C-alpha cells in the first residue's frame, strides 16, 4: 500500500515555524473551486449580474468626484478627478476585500471547518483570488478611461513600468491577507473585534491617499502618519504607473515591503496555531 | 479472529494516550470585556487563596474544564469496520473530530496511516445556488479528491445518488433526501484509506440506508479500506461492523465483539433494572385486599432490558401470602411510556397457597406483537371473588424495556400503532 505517503501524526504540540505552504499547494484545486464558487454565486438571481462590478466603481467615482472633488475641492495633481478616484477606489476595494474577507474566515466557514479537515489557509487564498478577479474586472473600466484620457492628452501614464502592476497587486494582497488573518485569529475568541474591524477599515481608507494625493497634505503629524501607513506608498506608486502622477519615496516603499513580509509571517503562524483548536472556542 | 492474525495486519490508525479537554462555562462565547473580567476575578481568587470546590462529576476538573476524552489508547487495523457506540456525551463525536483533524487533542498523539474522509455530515460545503454536478466537484475537492479522480468517478457517483435527472439543477431545489443521497455518494466514492461516518445514515429513506450500508461493506471487504462508524442504531452497527467499541464517560469500556459490545452498552443504562424489589415499595391506596404482596420481579436470563422483536421475556415473580389463597391469577399489562395501555397477557388460576408461604412463578411473555418502542409493565395478582368478579390482590409498576428496531422496516408507532398484527396472507381460490 501507499501508506507512508499519507502518514500523518497529530499531537497537541504545534511546530511554531511550520508555514504549511506545501500542504496548501496540494489543495490548489480546492482553492480554484472555492474561488469559482464565491465568484459565481454572488450574482446568481440578480438581473444585472456581474455588471454590478462595473456599476459599483463608476457610481463611487461619480460620488467622490462630486463630494471630494467639487464640494471639498480637493486637488488631484492635475489628473482628471474621475479617473483619479476610479483607479484609487479599484485598488482600495481590492485591498479592503482581501483584508475584511480574510478577517471573517473563521466566522464564514465555521460550518465547513467543523466538519472536515483541509488546510484552513486554502480559504484565505481563495479569498485573495476572488478579490483579485473583482479587481481585474474593475480594471477594464479603469483602462477604458485611461486610454481615453491619454488620447486626449490629459494624462501621461508610465507605460514602461506597467510590468510592475501584478507585483503591486500581489504585494497588497499579501498585506491584506496578513492583517486579515491576524484579526480572524483573534475574532475566534473576541467577537467584538470583527465589529470594530469594519469600522477600522473605513477609517483606514481615509488614512490612505485614495480621495486625495499625498502631495495635497501639509507637512505635519498627519502627513507623517499617512506616509507611515503601509498602503500609502503602494497606492502612490500604483497611480504613478497608471496615471503618471504620485510622490514616491523609497524609504516608505521599503517600510511597506517590510511590513507586508512581517504581517504575513505573523499572520500565517498565528493562523496555523489557532486553526487547530479554534472550534473549541468559537 | 485470532490475535496473531490481527497482529500481522497493517495498522490504519493509532491513538496513544489521547486526551481532550474543553473549557466549561461562558468562555466559548465571551466578549473582550467578559474575558478581562474573568481574568481579574481569577487573579483575585488566587490572591485570596480560594480553593474552587470539587465538582460532583469526575469529568469536570477543578479548573472548570471538562474531560471529554480521557486517555484513549486504540489501534485500528487496515480493513476493519469498527463501530463506536455510547450514550450521548460519552465522547463519540469528539473522538471522530480528533481523528478527522477538525480539532486537535489536548494531549497524546494520533497517527494516521492514510488519507481520511470524514463524513461527520453529508454534503459538507454544498452550496445551495450551485448545481448538483458543480457541488460534486466542490465537495470532492473539500474532501481531498483531485479533479481527475472526480472525473473518473463522476458517472458512478451520479448513478449511486439516484438524482441523475436533477444533476444540472441547483441543489436548493433538491428535496432533503436527494441532498443527502448526493452528499453520501460523493463521500462513498473517495479513494481514501480511512472513512469516518457519524450517523450520516440516520437520514435518507430505508432503502437508501441499506444501499449505503452495503456500499460501505463492499468498500471494507473488497478494497480493504478502514471504516469507523458511530451510530445509535444497533442494527446498522451489527450489519456493518466486525468490531465494536463502547465509550462511556470519555473512556473506552469495551473493545471487541459486536454483540457483546451492544449488550454492555445497554447494560450501562442504569435506569432500567432487571431485578425489582417490592418489599419497601408503597402500594396504591385503593389496594385494600391484602391477601398477597409481591416480593420481587426479575427478568431472567438477561442483564439488560433491551429486546429484539420476536424475543420472549422470561419473568420470575415471588410473592408472600398474607392469607390463604385459592386460584390466584396473574396479569402482565403492557403500557407505552406515556402510560397508554397497549395490551395485556394473562395467566389464570395458576396458584393456591397457605398463609405465610411464599409463592413463585416463572412466565414467558411473547413480545412478537410489539413494535419497536420503549414500554413499561404493570404486574397484577388477582382472584375471582364470591360473585365471580375479578378483584385485584396486588398491583405494582414493573419493568421498563425496549424493543430495538429491526432495521428491516422503519415502524412508526404514530401512524401504525404499537401492535404488530400477523402478516397478511395472499388468499388463493380453492381448486
pLDDT for position B51: 45
Q: What is the pLDDT of residues B22-36, one digit of tens each?
A: 876 554 445 566 666
Which residues in chain B are contacts of A15 at CB distance < 8 A? none
Residues 113-172 of A with CB under 8 A from B: 113-118
Residue A48 contacts B, CB cutoff 8 Å: no
Q: Which helix (H) or strand (E) holds B58?
A: none
Of A1, A41, A118, the CB nearest to B127: A41
The pLDDT-based confidence of B52 (bands split at 50, 70, 90) is very low
Distance between CA atoms of A169 and A176, rounded to whole angstroms? 10
Which residues in chain A are contacts of B130 at CB distance < 8 A? 37, 40-41
Comparing A141-145, B47-51, B204-208, B226-230, the range with the smallest average pLDDT is B47-51
Which residues in chain A are contacts of B193 at CB distance < 8 A? 1, 3, 6
Say if the Cβ atoms of A190 and B30 lie within 8 Å: yes
Q: What is the pLDDT of residues B360-370, one digit of tens each?
A: 999 999 998 88
Q: Which three cell numbers stand for residue B384?
A: 375471582
Which residues in chain A are contacts of B104 at CB distance < 8 A? 10-12, 14, 276-277
pLDDT for position B205: 75
Which residues in chain A are contacts of B116 at CB distance < 8 A? 117
Say if the Cβ atoms of A281 and B28 lie within 8 Å: yes
The string of DSSP codes covering A47-85 is: SSGGGHHHHHHHHHHHHHIIIIIIIS----TTS-HHHHH
* Interval B310-322 mean pLDDT: 90
Which residues in chain B are contacts of A276 at CB distance < 8 A? 103-104
Q: What domains are there in chain B, each with its CATH number? A: 10-28+56-267 (3.40.50.300), 275-416 (2.70.50.60)
- Chain A residue with CA closest to B150: the answer is A29
Of A4, A193, A277, the CB nearest to B104: A277
Of B103, B108, B143, the CB nearest to A276: B103
B342-377: string of b/e by CB count within 10 Å (b at 16+)? beeeebeeebebeeeeebeeebebebebbbbbebbb
Comparing A251-255, B62-66, B243-247, the range with the smallest average pLDDT is B62-66
Of A6, A117, A190, the CB nearest to B101: A117
More confident residue, A279 or B221: B221
Which residues in chain B are contacts of A123 at CB distance < 8 A? none
Say if the Cβ atoms of B144 and A114 lie within 8 Å: no
What is the pLDDT of chain A when averaged over all its residues? 86
Distance between CA atoms of B117 and B99, rounded to whole angstroms? 10
Whether the per-residue pLDDT at B199 is higher than 50: the answer is yes
The string of DSSP codes covering B6-54 is: HHHSPEEEEEEEEEEEEE-GGGGG--HHHHHHHHHHHHHHHHHT--PPP
Say if the Cβ atoms of A30 and B78 lie within 8 Å: no
Say if the Cβ atoms of A6 and B113 lie within 8 Å: yes
Distance between CA atoms of B233 and B372, rounded to whole angstroms? 12
Which residues in chain B are contacts of A11 at CB distance < 8 A? 104-105, 108-110
Of A37, A189, A279, the CB nearest to B103: A279
pLDDT for position A98: 92
Which residues in chain A are contacts of B78 at CB distance < 8 A? 1
Q: What is the pLDDT of residues A77-126, one digit of tens each?
A: 788 888 889 999 999 999 999 999 888 888 888 888 888 888 888 999 99
Say if the Cβ atoms of B108 and A11 lie within 8 Å: yes
Q: Find the length of chain B.
A: 431
Say if the Cβ atoms of A44 and B129 lie within 8 Å: yes
What is the pLDDT of chain B when averaged over all its residues? 82
pLDDT for position B310: 79
Classify burial at A119, counting beta carbons within 10 Å of its beta carbon; exposed 0-12, middle 13-18, buried 19 or more: buried
Interface test with A, best of B39, B142, B230 (most A CBs within 10 A): B142
Whether the per-residue pLDDT at A186 is higher than 80: the answer is yes
Distance between CA atoms of A34 and A241, rounded to whole angstroms? 32
pTM of the model: 0.70
Whether the per-residue pLDDT at B137 is higher than 80: the answer is yes
Strand spans (E) along chain A: 7-11
Residue A202 contacts B, CB cutoff 8 Å: no
More confident residue, A277 or A164: A164
Distance between CA atoms of B125 and A225, rounded to whole angstroms? 43
Q: How far is B266 from chain A (nearest CA, A)?
A: 29
| % of chain A exceeding 70 in pLDDT | 95
* Interval B90-104 mean pLDDT: 87
Whether the per-residue pLDDT at B56 is higher than 50: the answer is no
Whether the per-residue pLDDT at B388 is higher than 90: the answer is no
Which residues in chain A are contacts of B103 at CB distance < 8 A? 276-277, 279-280
Q: What is the pLDDT of residues B227-279, one digit of tens each?
A: 999 988 777 888 888 899 998 888 898 898 887 787 777 765 444 578 888 88
* Interval A182-190 mean pLDDT: 83
Say if the Cβ atoms of A1 and B10 lie within 8 Å: yes
* Interval B195-213 mean pLDDT: 78
Say if the Cβ atoms of B31 and A282 lie within 8 Å: no
In terms of DSSP bridges, do strands B226-230 and B194-198 run parallel, antiparallel, or are they unpaired? parallel
Distance between CA atoms of A24 and A31, rounded to whole angstroms? 9
Whether the per-residue pLDDT at B344 is higher than 90: the answer is yes
Comparing A24-38, B41-55, B117-131, the range with the smallest average pLDDT is B41-55
Interface test with A, best of B23, B38, B129 (most A CBs within 10 A): B129
Say if the Cβ atoms of B109 and A282 lie within 8 Å: no
pLDDT for position B2: 44
How many cross-chain Cβ pairs, A to B, lie less than 8 Å apart?
120
* Interval A137-163 mean pLDDT: 87
Q: Is the complex ipTM more than 0.85? A: no
Grid look-up 402510560 returns: B339
CB B392 within 8 A of CB B382: yes
- For the beta sheet containing B292-299, the strands, ordered from the edge strand earlier in sequence to the opposite edge, are B275-277, B292-299, B312-321, B358-366
- Chain A residue with CA closest to B187: the answer is A116
Which residues in chain A are contacts of B105 at CB distance < 8 A? 10-12
| % of chain B exceeding 70 in pLDDT | 85
CB B103 within 8 A of CB A188: no
The string of DSSP codes covering B327-353 is: EEEEEEEEEETT--EEEEEEEEEEEEE
Which residues in chain B are contacts of A33 at CB distance < 8 A? 137-138, 141
Say if the Cβ atoms of A112 and B142 lie within 8 Å: yes
Which residues in chain A are contacts of B98 at CB distance < 8 A? 10
Q: How far is B129 from chain A (nearest CA, A)?
A: 6
Amino acid at each position: 500500500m501507499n501508506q507512508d505517503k499519507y502518514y500523518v501524526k497529530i499531537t497537541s504540540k504545534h511546530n511554531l515555524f511550520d508555514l504549511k505552504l506545501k500542504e496548501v499547494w496540494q489543495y490548489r484545486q480546492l482553492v480554484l473551486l472555492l474561488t469559482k464558487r464565491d465568484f459565481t454565486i454572488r450574482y446568481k438571481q440578480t438581473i444585472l449580474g456581474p455588471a454590478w462590478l462595473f456599476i459599483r466603481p463608476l457610481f463611487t467615482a461619480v460620488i467622490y468626484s462630486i463630494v471630494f472633488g467639487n464640494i471639498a475641492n480637493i486637488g488631484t495633481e492635475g489628473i482628471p478627478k474621475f479617473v483619479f478616484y476610479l483607479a484609487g477606489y479599484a485598488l482600495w476595494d481590492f485591498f479592503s476585500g482581501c483584508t475584511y474577507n480574510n478577517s471573517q474566515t473563521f466566522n464564514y466557514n465555521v460550518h465547513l471547518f467543523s466538519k472536515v479537515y483541509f488546510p484552513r489557509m486554502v480559504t484565505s487564498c481563495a479569498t485573495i483570488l476572488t478579490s483579485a478577479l473583482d479587481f481585474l474586472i474593475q480594471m477594464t473600466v479603469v483602462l477604458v478611461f485611461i486610454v481615453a484620457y491619454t488620447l486626449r492628452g490629459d494624462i501621461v501614464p508610465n507605460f514602461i513600468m506597467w510590468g510592475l502592476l501584478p507585483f503591486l497587486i500581489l504585494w497588497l494582497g499579501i498585506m491584506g491577507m496578513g492583517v486579515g488573518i491576524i484579526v480572524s485569529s483573534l475574532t475566534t475568541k473576541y467577537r467584538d473585534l470583527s465589529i470594530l474591524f469594519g469600522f477600522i477599515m473605513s477609517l483606514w481608507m481615509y488614512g490612505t491617499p485614495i480621495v486625495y494625493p499625498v502631495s495635497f497634505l501639509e507637512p505635519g503629524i498627519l502627513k507623517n502618519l499617512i506616509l507611515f501607513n503601509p498602503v500609502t506608498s503602494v497606492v502612490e506608486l500604483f497611480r504613478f504607473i497608471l496615471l503618471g502622477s504620485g510622490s514616491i519615496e523609497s524609504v516608505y516603499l521599503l517600510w511597506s515591503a517590510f511590513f507586508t513580509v512581517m504581517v504575513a509571517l505573523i499572520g500565517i503562524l498565528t493562523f496555523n496555531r489557532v486553526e487547530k483548536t479554534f472550534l473549541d472556542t468559537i | 479472529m485470532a490475535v496473531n492474525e490481527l497482529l500481522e495486519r497493517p495498522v490504519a490508525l493509532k491513538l496513544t494516550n489521547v486526551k481532550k479537554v474543553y473549557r466549561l462555562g461562558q468562555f466559548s462565547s465571551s466578549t473582550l470585556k467578559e474575558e478581562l473580567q474573568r481574568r481579574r476575578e481569577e487573579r483575585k481568587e488566587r490572591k485570596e487563596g480560594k480553593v474552587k470546590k470539587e465538582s460532583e462529576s469526575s469529568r469536570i476538573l477543578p479548573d472548570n474544564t471538562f474531560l471529554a476524552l480521557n486517555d484513549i489508547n486504540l489501534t485500528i487495523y487496515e480493513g476493519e469496520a469498527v463501530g463506536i457506540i455510547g450514550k450521548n456525551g460519552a465522547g463519540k463525536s469528539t473522538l471522530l473530530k480528533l481523528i478527522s483533524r477538525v480539532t486537535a487533542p489536548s494531549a497524546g498523539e494520533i497517527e494516521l496511516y492514510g488519507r481520511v474522509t470524514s463524513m461527520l455530515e453529508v454534503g459538507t460545503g454544498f452550496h445551495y445556488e450551485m448545481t448538483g454536478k458543480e457541488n460534486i466537484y466542490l465537495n470532492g475537492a473539500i474532501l481531498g479528491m483531485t479533479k481527475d479522480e472526480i472525473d473518473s468517478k463522476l458517472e458512478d457517483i451520479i448513478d449511486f445518488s439516484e438524482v441523475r435527472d436533477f444533476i444540472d439543477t441547483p441543489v436548493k431545489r433538491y428535496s432533503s433526501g436527494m441532498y443527502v443521497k448526493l452528499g453520501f455518494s460523493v463521500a462513498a466514492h473517495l479513494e481514501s484509506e480511512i472513512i469516518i461516518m457519524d450517523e450520516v445514515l440516520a437520514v435518507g429513506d430505508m432503502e437508501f440506508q441499506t444501499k449505503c450500508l452495503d456500499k460501505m461493506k463492499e468498500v471494507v471487504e473488497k478494497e480493504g479500506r478502514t471504516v469507523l462508524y458511530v451510530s445509535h442504531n444497533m442494527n446498522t452497527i451489527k450489519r456493518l461492523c466486525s468490531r465494536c467499541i463502547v465509550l462511556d464517560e470519555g473512556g473506552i469500556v469495551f473493545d471487541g465483539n459486536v454483540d457483546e459490545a451492544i449488550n454492555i452498552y445497554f447494560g450501562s443504562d442504569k435506569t432500567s433494572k432487571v431485578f425489582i424489589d417490592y418489599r419497601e415499595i408503597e402500594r396504591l391506596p385503593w389496594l385494600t385486599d391484602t391477601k398477597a404482596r409481591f416480593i420481587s420481579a426479575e427478568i431472567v436470563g438477561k442483564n439488560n432490558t433491551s429486546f429484539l422483536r420476536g424475543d420472549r421475556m422470561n419473568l420470575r415473580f415471588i410473592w408472600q401470602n398474607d392469607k390463604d389463597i385459592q386460584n390466584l391469577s396473574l396479569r402482565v399489562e403492557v403500557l407505552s411510556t406515556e402510560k397508554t395501555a397497549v395490551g395485556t397477557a394473562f395467566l389464570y388460576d395458576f396458584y393456591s397457597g397457605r398463609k405465610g408461604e411464599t409463592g413463585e412463578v416463572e412466565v414467558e411473555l411473547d413480545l412478537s406483537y410489539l413494535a419497536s418502542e420503549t414500554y413499561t409493565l404493570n404486574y397484577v395478582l388477582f382472584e375471582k371473588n364470591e360473585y365471580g368478579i375479578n378483584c385485584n390482590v396486588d398491583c405494582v409498576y414493573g419493568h421498563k424495556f425496549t424493543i430495538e428496531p429491526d432495521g428491516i422496516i422503519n415502524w412508526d408507532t404514530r401512524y401504525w400503532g404499537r401492535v404488530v398484527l400477523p402478516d397478511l396472507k395472499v388468499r388463493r381460490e380453492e381448486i
